[in-house]
Amino acid sequence: MSVVLGSGAHRYRVNPDWAKLPAGWSFRDVAGVAVDAKDQVYVFNRGQHPMIVFDREGNFLRSWGEGLFTRAHGIHVGPDGMLYCTDDGDHTVRKCTPEGKVLLEIGIPGKPAPFMSGEPFHRCTHTALSPRGDIYVSDGYGNARVHKYAPDGKLLKSWGEPGTDPGQFNIVHNIVADDEGWVYVADRENHRVQVFDGEGRYETQWKNLHRPCGLFLCPGHGGLCVIGELGPGLAVNRFVPNLGPRISLVTTKGEIVARLGGKDGPGMAVGQFQAPHGIAVDSRGDIYVGEVSYTNWPSTYPNDPLPEKLRTLQKLERLD
């Protein structure tokens, strides 16, 4: 029996077995997902094959990245089809072709900046592009900054510091930019998304979220922002209803139009989420959700052994 999430104009059928992996392969944690103009789906994961590419029907196309990436975290597709891959394990951002050729590398592999120094990078997390092609990098776990680079990799400016006030961050975990140049930053442990102009000037914030983790901004003026929320991380509220983990659809004004899942807390049942971390949407409006279930399991179920196999990728197929 199929499971449908959402209501009204935002209804999705859950397809947990969409991706057809080669025999013997596994994703482990799926940290990032991206979709190109051909609806090819790039699954950036922490298994033996870091980048696995599928068509929209889930058929395997190719893989690459073996020996290149240390710990997959974020992926973004530029308008020219190039991929921006953020590796928080070796503190780099790499611009790659769809076949895996590295065109640009920002950061020094294996050499983080000092913790909370503000200098790039210390466990950077994700990237976004401005309308003119400038590269924004969220940084990250060991910093509380957003860095802005020219398309050639030259650092233009940085903003942010640790804290809870506007313009401050407590784990800057993800970043997207819209066609008008606004920049949206998932300030995860402050339970908000902050909005800035292209120069880092604070505009507003969305606070009706619980540990926003994954972001995807649907193209076009007035598009929806699809947000993966990790939900509670503390023992005292871990299984409290209506806090997630879940997927939320939000307008660029911060208005919630739909919540998908999350009413019954974390879980591995169809229609539940464990740790939504990477989000992408294809041309038909289907949502791909990558989860870091293996990383999240010990904190969610501290008394249960880690299962041999966990689900880390789901497709939510939009219903007309």
pLDDT at 220 over 80: no
Using the structure block, give the residue that is written with the tokens 């992926």.
Answer: 75
Name the residue range of residue 204's domain: 4-319
Average pLDDT over residues 40-55: 98
Average pLDDT over residues 95-102: 98
Average pLDDT over residues 149-153: 98
DSSP readout, 208-219? S-SSEEEEEEPS
pLDDT at 260 over 90: yes
Please report, as a single letter, which amino acid is at residue 266. Answer: P
Closest CA to 275 of 232, 308, 241: 232
Q: Which residues contact 7 (CB under 8 A, 6 or more apart)?
A: 258
What's the rounded Cα separation, in Å, for the pair 66 and 81?
Answer: 21
233 pLDDT band, cuts 50/70/90, is confident
As a whole-number percent, the residues of the chain with pLDDT over 90 amount to 95
What's the rounded Cα separation, in Å, for the pair 74 and 231?
Answer: 19
CA 69 to chain centre: 17
Maximum pairwise Cα distance, the chain: 52
Please provide residue 205's backbone torsions phi and psi, each rounded to the nearest 5 degrees.
-150, 150
pLDDT at 217 over 90: yes
- Give the model's pLDDT for residue 298: 93
Average pLDDT over residues 239-267: 94
Q: What is the pLDDT of residues 13-32, one digit of tens each?
A: 999 999 999 999 999 999 99
Mean pLDDT of the chain: 96
222 pLDDT band, cuts 50/70/90, is low
Hey, what are 148's tokens?
Answer: 């802005």
As a whole-number percent, the residues of the chain with pLDDT over 70 amount to 99
Number of domains forming the structure of the chain: 1
Give SS3 for 81: coil
- Give the model's pLDDT for residue 175: 98
110 pLDDT band, cuts 50/70/90, is very high
- Give the model's pLDDT for residue 119: 97
Which helix or strand (DSSP H or E) is residue 293 part of?
Answer: helix 293-300
∠ at Cα 244 (241, 250), nearest 5°? 125
Give SS3 for 298: helix
Hey, what are 248's tokens?
Answer: 């939320």
What's the rounded Cα separation, in Å, for the pair 155 and 106?
Answer: 9
1 pLDDT band, cuts 50/70/90, is low
* Spatial contact of 292 and 30, defined as CB atoms under 8 Å apart: yes
CATH code of the domain covering residue 285: 2.120.10.30
- Give the model's pLDDT for residue 221: 61
Q: What is the pLDDT of residues 162-196, one digit of tens each?
A: 999 999 999 999 999 999 999 999 999 999 999 99
pLDDT at 309 over 80: yes
